[in-house]
A and B are shown apart, each in its own frame.
Chain A
Amino acid sequence: MEALGVRNIVKQFPNVLANDKVTLSIEKGEIFALVGENGAGKSTLMKIVYGLYTPNSGEIYVFGKKEDIKTPQDSIKLKIGMVHQEFMLIPRFTVTQNIVLGDEPHKGFVFDYLRAISEVREISDKFGLKIDPTEKVENLPVGIQQRVEILKILRRGAEILIFDEPTAVLTPEETSELFKTLNALKQDGKTIIFISHKLNEVMEIADRIGVMRRGELQGIVNKSETNERELARMMVGRDVVLELPKANVKAGDEVFSVSNLNVKNTKGILGLKGVSFSVHAREIVGIAGVEGNGQAELVNAILGFLKPTSGKISINGKEIKLITPYNMRTRGMSYIPEDRKRRGLVLPFRARENIIMGQHTLYPFSNRGILNDKEIDAFATKKLQEFDVRPPDIYSKAESFSGGNQQKIILAKEMSLKHNFLLASQPTRGLDIGATEFVYKMLVEEKKKGIGILLISLELSEIMGLSDRILVLYNGEIVGEVTPEETTEEELGLMMLGLKRKERVQ
């Protein structure tokens, strides 16, 4: 029986044709994976099904009936639920408030919070998804936040569940936990649509797989009849070997170190406990860990946004007494931020303006405080070419570039600053394969040039492939220090959950 059918869906955005006559049929009770690179149109398609976007043309069938889905209200009524890539949660609300919002238990117009709590308990017991209903969402780790999202749609009685890149923020253990949940839901007769670009996961969980590229559906294959390689070729349109070109060079002098760093986060909780490590020239040190285990505190302490309660931070062997971004940068730090739009770019600024940020006070971009447009333009033009930013238009605003090209602008900016230490915080977050490859190449080149790199990442494959040494961060502590040669993703995963510790390699 067909649970969901889309026929000839076309969606035109101002600059891009996001969906080009997409036709799909998804059976009841199957796990259907939709794969494709970022920007291939898979999220757009599902947002259309969920009523967040209106298609230019095409039809949607739900359980055999043609439906006109205009708003999420419509899709909720049709028992369609969606777990979005960026969680749709309200941090200041409690778990219960988040779950029942939009369909609240009530007595008259009074919100019946107690009944809401018991309903949440009930539903979490029924599906075996444990949760504290009265905790505020802002205090929960990402994996649990996702659980809130799933409970939210299950409570609405969803029969068709759409998951948009659900594993992007999870550890291997959390991922396998999620897969267990998905399989259980499937046993329950629910239909699951799983959007991803991670082929190994798709091969593990899906029954059938649809591949999208540039807005078009390339084909649908049964899992049993395909392999990762074929999928990748369909996805990218060429053979891809996402190689992590490790350069074996000898590490040099210490360029960066923290010792015995204790940092309280904005909630006043110790988010980083006695952390010490160092990064040497020609070395990539990877920090592995589940999001929310101290990465943000570490980055913010290095930038001076959080003041450590004790400990010190040094660059090139010299302790930095007053930590500010300016002081860190003038002593040789570059920084690829985890949040492009918030920290990396001034979105309404043009590419030429963004690319000089941080060196705008230096000659030749300015002289005695007055900007030199000619030099800026020449520099920007050169850099956009060098980093293959598309379109290579220095007057375009940063917000008009795609994610990958935005990241290239940031790289161009940060690499051209004088530095010998690079803080790379989730540098491939949300990038497609092409841009990810580009970032990897950049990092390795940097390393060869003699730069010490601190790589903070949630992607284990990235950490394993690029790092010379790996530090595992759990609950604000470094619980293990290993080299990629002597460990496995499984072992790292255990350490990331605090189930295993490993002594420092001497």
Chain B
Amino acid sequence: MKEFFYRLFMNRRREKYWWINLLVPLVSIFLALIVGGIFIQSTGRNPFLAYRLLFNASGLIPGPYWRSSFAELLLSSSMFIATGLSFAIAAKGGLFSIGAEGQFYVGAVVAAFFGYSKPFAGLPSIIHIPIILIMVMLFGGFWGLIAGYLKAKRGIHEVIVTIMLNWIAFYLIQGWLVPTGGPMAAKVETGVSGTPYISPTAKLPIILSNTRLNISIFIMIAVSFLIWFLLYRTTFGYEARAMGHTAIYNMEAPKVSGVNTSKRIMQIMFLSGAVAALGGSFIVLGILSQFPPVFEGGYGFDGIAVALIGQNEPLGIFLSGILIGALRTGATSVQIARIPKTFPQIIEGLIVAFIALHELVRYLLLKLAKAKKSSVTEGSVE
């Protein structure tokens, strides 16, 4: 532990103004809120009211209905964290995956299938849930592996393949598996549209009574830690990061050192798919209890934003996942201020924009830091 802090701080201290790097994301969030506020003001609505409503209902700030909104916050955060990590794993390895959306779908539908179908549905939760999660990760991982295989063996750009696979997943699920008459559709006589409801043994255990909050957030804490461990404490992560850093050079440095990059690319994409699919399973096992006929997605694409705000680091993604989860949880309440509930997405996008502008943010902060310093020294001279 001592060593850990030594590394974290002693190391950074070598660089002058190292703390600015930590400040950049925070300042970006702050600036995004300001710009968002100005935008609301300019459309003739009250930004202060909007933010008060937003944050009161977000689950971040204790208040009257805090318990339930806090639960909802963590519920949605766990899905954002999953898709965010999925993007980041690939990005660390030098791969640009837009595939979390499709993998999320795959995860959701696989979770529904193993949640309701027979031999499994009778098992006790303690066996049933792990089986579901393993199957979800296998299928999601496979979905990611397709892009990884084509990249590694055929040199085909992963961006195209992941985009195409998103649509293929979407159409196969919503145009074949789930609609009435499809292999996974509930029997007409049950009156249920979409897949049948999952067995109670498949539902993720609730950890906060009278809310929907379940163990998914714990799962994501563990997964975030495991991914951090994998990336920074293992030879696999070491190789993956080396590949990511040298992607513009065709990963030549790790290659000449004997790293089997094509095997790693496939493993990375598998892992990336598996984690995104895990997020998809949460929506079925913890919220919807089935795969509905109309499935509202978007978690996969938001995952990219989550990962970028979290600087592709597991801890950062965990925090930014909580932030985005909070914005989404509070979203519906802003309608009281006559603001559409998609407003938080503007904030989210603006945060990402300021992250992209980190050079500018850094520049401003540095100027601020230097100005302050010089005024302090001047003061002491007097």
Task: Give A residues with C-beta under 8 Å from B.
Answer: 303, 305, 324-326, 329-330, 335, 337, 341-349, 353, 357-358, 360-361, 366, 369-371, 373, 393, 395-396
Contact = CB atoms under 8 A, between A and B. Distances in A.
Nearest to A374: B3
* Residue from the set B3, B245, B255, B256 with the largest chain A CB neighbour count within 10 Å: B256
Contacts of A329: 257-258
Top 4 A-B pairs, shortest CB-CB distance: A326-B258, A358-B257, A357-B257, A348-B245
A178 to B, nearest CB: 31
Contact of B245 (A337, A346, A370): A346
Contacts of B246: 342, 346
Interface stretch (B162-170, B233-241, B346-354): B233-241
Contact of A347 (B234, B236, B241, B245): B245
B313 to A, nearest CB: 14
Contacts, number: 68
Nearest to B10: A395
B253 interface: yes
Given A329-B258, A346-B245, 12 more contacts: A342-B246, A342-B249, A343-B249, A346-B242, A346-B254, A357-B242, A357-B253, A357-B254, A358-B257, A360-B235, A371-B233, A373-B3
Contacts of A395: 11, 14
A351 to B, nearest CB: 12
A370 B245 CA distance: 20
B253 A343 contact: yes
B256 A337 contact: yes
Contacts of B238: 353, 360, 371
Q: How large is the interface on B (under 10, 10 to 19, 20 to 34, 35 or more residues)?
A: 20 to 34
A104 to B, nearest CB: 29
A172 B318 CA distance: 61
B345 interface: no
A305 B262 CA distance: 13
B268 to A, nearest CB: 15
Contact of A369 (B236, B241, B256): B236
* Residue from the set A335, A337, A342, A393 with the largest chain B CB neighbour count within 10 Å: A342
Contacts of B242: 346, 349, 353, 357
Contacts of B258: 324-326, 329-330, 358
18 contacts: A303-B256, A325-B257, A325-B258, A325-B259, A342-B249, A343-B256, A346-B245, A347-B245, A348-B245, A349-B245, A353-B238, A357-B242, A357-B253, A357-B257, A360-B238, A366-B235, A369-B236, A371-B238
Contact of B234 (A325, A341, A370): A370
* Residue from the set B238, B249, B253, B260 with the largest chain A CB neighbour count within 10 Å: B253
Contacts of A344: 253
Contacts of B253: 342-346, 357
Contacts of A370: 233-235
Contacts of A348: 245
A330 B259 CA distance: 12
A207 B252 CA distance: 44
Contacts of A342: 246, 249, 252-253
Nearest to B248: A342
Contacts of A305: 255
Given A346-B242, A346-B246, A395-B14, A361 B235 contact: yes
B256 A325 contact: yes
B245 A326 contact: no
Nearest to B238: A360
B249 A371 contact: no
B44 to A, nearest CB: 46
A156 B233 CA distance: 56
A343 B3 CA distance: 31
